[in-house]
Amino acid sequence: MAQGCVRGEDGQMHERLSVNVNDPVARTNMNWQVGADDQPKVVIVFHQPDPPPRRERTPEEIARQQKLMELARTRQALDRKEYKTEDLGTKQINGVTARGSRSTRTIPAGEEGNDQPLVVINETWRSKDLGLIGDGNQRRSKAWANHYRV
């Protein structure tokens, strides 16, 4: 549901309420636009086309998909190995207790077009009481750094 204004024929702004309903079973989208009592009420119904029929995958396609999934799992495992995480303890940030952690990832030379290894460091201080990050830094070698604080 959205609420907005439109300029009427009289040149004045008039409130308009718009309601959108998606019905995946009937495969329709309906949009109601409602304004003041003297304005027309408009309902627009969009019919979604039938999905194309599913075809059976060939054994080659299934094998290719399985190989891609295995490669993705291997890459995720390697990414996890590249990260080192350490606990930084607690500190006060504007009177709120926060626990810090630092994760460091070394990107080997040549992996991203780099001629030297890149070191990415993420330092985050989270407040358990507030449920949010209160302070943080992100550095990538000496190329750039970001700092944020709530």
Q: What is the mean pLDDT of residues 108-119?
A: 81
Residue 80: the pLDDT is 65
CB contact at 8 A, 121 and 141 = no
Top-confidence residue, 85 or 130: 85
pLDDT at 1 over 60: no
pLDDT at residue 67, as a whole number: 92
Check pLDDT > 60 for residue 96: yes
Q: What predicted TM-score, i.e. pTM, was given to this entire model?
A: 0.43
Question: Between 129 and 72, whose confidence is greater?
Answer: 72
The answer to whether 45 and 28 have CB atoms below 8 angstroms apart is yes
Tell me the per-residue pLDDT of 31-71, one tens digit each, with 9 for 90 and over: 877 776 766 777 888 898 888 888 899 999 999 999 999 98
**What is the total residue count of the chain?**
150
Task: Answer yes or no: are the C-beta atoms of 36 and 16 closer than 8 Å.
Answer: no
CB-based contact 67:47 (threshold 8 Å): no
Residue 11 has pLDDT above 90, yes or no: no
